[in-house]
Structures are given as structure tokens and as C-alpha cells.
Structure 1
Amino acid sequence: MFCVIQKIQKKKPDPYGTRKEIIVSETTFGFAGEEPKTSYGYTYSDERFERPVLDAYKISIHHSYRENGKVKKKQWAICTMSYYDLLEYSLYDCADSKIKNLSSEVDMSEEVIYQIINEKLDLLIAKIEEEFQQTEEYKVKKEQKAILDAHRATEVVFEKEYGSDEYRYCYDVFGTLRNPAYLEELKVRKKAQEEYARRSYEESFKRNYSNYSGNSSSYYTTSQSNYNEDEKKMLHEIYRMASKKFHPDACGDDGSKMKLLTNLKDQWGL
């Protein structure tokens, strides 16, 4: 079995060239009692690149065999792919059902049939890709992909910092800051959330210590005497980790947290 690729001509050009521009879109909406917000998305221009090449390629599988001493031939049409189809679609996209049927009919694996076709088709695709890369359409398509890849990567980083779906209210697809006031609002909100979390942690720590230290001193004596060696090792590890976090150089306070931790260390008998 072997593959034949026949070059033919289409009557009409491909109308689906790459759109020439990425355009910023704006959507403004708001809920009752709230100031409207503008979201910045993107779309494409209506104008497309022309695709003047009319070449197409008819792909078929041929088989020669002998029957009663005579050479006979059989062939199966697989598909026809245009010049631009070969740039944008795979053989699987265009011919999978035909190849499945052929596989059943001739008792040959689909993988082998794909290999037979691709031995010829890959060379043709490489030649077409090299030609297409010299065109203005290819250059614009590559630029657009770079813009969108950078946009998506920046959006992910920003939203890890400030929350889901917030990037589009500040920046457009080209990375231009469209709403500096809202960006500043996000920064203030984030700082307030961090401050709230810090204070909540400190208050919880103080509250837990107050509850602990409010017991009688005899409790500490009893508790201290009841710690076995394994428990003391655990308490020592807790102290070591906490001292790194609450050292004045690390947390920037007046040393009160470290004093509190030192008192706990004494009470634990370490």
C-alpha cells in the first residue's frame, strides 16, 4: 500500500484569513446602589487577511495486487485538504473516520495507515509552513499570540495578588492601565485585609496566653513536672519555631512577643 497526494485547484479562495487586529472592548455594568464598573476585554477586527493560494491536495491510498495472474489496482479516497487546511488542521481532524473505515476494510491498523500517509504529507506540510512564514498574515498571527500569551500570564499573577476577575477592571489586553483609581482601591483593600489578619492573629495569641496564664501557679508546677522527655522535645521545637517568627528583628515589634514566649519557655521547664 502507498499514498498518493494529487495537487488540484480550488475555485474559491479561503475566506477565513487571520483577523488583522486585536481590539479592546469595554463593558460597563453595575448593581443598584453601586457605582458602575467597566470591564476591559478584547475582540478582533472584521477585516481579515486575504488567502490567495488556491492549491488543495487530494489524498488517497493505493494498493496493487495480483489476481489470477493479472495485476489489479484498488484505491481509497481519504480526504482533500486545502493549502491553508494543512496549516491549521491535522490529518486526524480531516480524515479520522475514513481511516477507521479503511482500517476495518483492509485489516490494517489505523496507526500504520497514518504512517503511510504522513511519510508524504509531512514533507508537504513543512514546505507550506516555510512559505507561509514569509507572509504578513503569519507575522501578525504570531504577534497576536504573543500579546494574548503575555496578557494571560500577567492576569494570573495579578489575580493571585488581588483576587479573581479583578485584572480586567484595571488593565486592557495590551497591559495598558485603564483604571488607576480602582487599582489603588485594590491595593488599599489588600493592605487592610493583611492588617486585619495580622491583628486577628495577635489577638488570638494574646487571648490564648491570657487563658493559659490565668490559671494558678500551682498548675504550672504540676504541668511542668508532668512533661515527659518526648513532650519536652515537642515543646522545645514549638519554642524554636515561634522564636524565629516573633524575634523583634523578624516581626518588627517592641519585643513583647518574644518576652511572652520566653515566659512560656520557663513555665514549660525547658
Structure 2
Amino acid sequence: MIEQSELILAKVKRARWKRNLRNDKFIDIELPVTRSFIGNGFVLHNSARRYERAREMELTYYFNRVGEHAARVFVNDIKVTGLIVGGPGPTKEDFLKGGYLHYQLQKNVLAVIDSSYVGREGVRELVEKAADTLQDVRLIEEKKLVQRFLTEVNKPGGLAIYGLPRVLDALQKAIADTVLISDDIETTKITMKCKNCGTTKESVVQNQSKMQATQEMISTPCEKCRSTDYEIHEKDIVDVLEETAFQVGAKVEVISSGTEEGNMFRSFGGVAAFLRYRPQ
């Protein structure tokens, strides 16, 4: 019941349904009147001020929901090191200035970027525009990893090892926590299985000498049955390390070779690992 309100009857000239931020519905209505009215079953008011207050309440409600969801996902569930905030219009700036984002995430905002689109196209546009920023962040992370590696490898009892055989052994023993790989490492693992008795033999070689190494392995008879009929399988060593690391719950980090830290890391062979603990 509406009491003490001046109401008139009016015909709705144009009505359009829209989704608002809480999944209710807004209605856009054009009416040549200047007072409150009831139109086609809807109670409305022509006060621009009241509309603005309602809009602000809806935005505040939405911003709070976004902030709570971001905190739940990016603080509680997944630890993030940086955020890119973007979209068309000034809404993103209002969201950040309003303090709706969790303080731990607020300090990790790397860039605020304007986009022309929303949805998937908008996300794709943001990724493209943020490429330089993301690259800079990645290089900083790589620098920290290499500096940590150099510190650990040079101190007694440090939790870092280097060299492909030692890293593979650490992965097989499940004591490797993080594997570091240079992005320009060119090494292949060759596996040959005897078709006659099933005996296998393996060799890890540089790509430039892969053909020669393969021929030598083929020409060497099987140790068990002396056959030279083999099934041959080749796999890039990066894939080998990634698959083995996944099996034991270890992480893999690729280090760019085009930086000063990357060159320093490459001098250690381009493959290293941080250990969970130092074996006795």
C-alpha cells in the first residue's frame, strides 16, 4: 500500500528489460510526465536523485561481491603474484579507488588497462595489451630464482643441485621441489627397446649429435639376445623433466637465456633443481 504519495496513471511508451548486477531486472521506460506514477503495473518515480542512489547501491553491492570473490579465489585458494585490471569505461578505477579489493591483492595490481570489449574478447585484448608488463614480471621472478639458486649452490649443505643426471636422479627419488630449465637447452632422450627380448637402453644426447648417437646405439647388439632390431623413441629432455616432475609433485620453471641471470644459469648446464631436503 502506498500512502501520502501523489500518483497518476500513465501509459508506458517504451519498456525494455535489462539484467542488473544482481540478476534482477531493470526497466527502461520513456514517459512524458514529471511526477510519480503507476504504469502498467509497475510503481515508478521520476526522481533522478533517487535513481542515482539506487544505482550507487547496486554498484556498491556488485563491487563488494567482486571483491569477496576475488579474495576467496586469489587469496585463499590460489596465491597470485600480480593482477591485471581492465575493461571499458571508468568502472575499474572506481572499483580500485573504492577499496573493494582485498589489501593483499590491491598491492599486487600490476596495471590498469582500458579495453574496447568485454567478455572473452575483452580478456584476450587485455592479455595482448599487458604482454610487456607480464614479461617484465616474469623476468623479475626468473631473476629471483637464479639468485636463490646461486646462493644455495654456493653454501655448505645448500638445497640446490645442477646437472641433468643429478636432477633426474633427484626427481626419481622424489626429493626435488622445483626444477629450473634454460629455454635454449637442446637435448634429447633416446630410448631403444629390443623387439626380440624387450630389453631397453637409453641415452641422453645433444640434438646436434643425435643422428650419430642413434646410429651407434642401433649398431650395438642387445646385451641380452644380441639382436639389433629395435623400437626407437625420442623425447625432448624438457618434456622428460616436466613429466617426471608432475609425477612427484615438483614444479618446473623455465629460465630465459637472453638475460644476464639466464646466461649465468646457463653456465651451470641449463638444468638445476631445488631440493625438498638434503639426502643423508
- Give the structure-1-normalised TM-score: 0.27
Please say which structure displays the higher CA radius of gyration: 1
- Give the structure-2-normalised TM-score: 0.27
Q: Whose strand fraction is larger, Structure 1's or Structure 2's?
A: 2
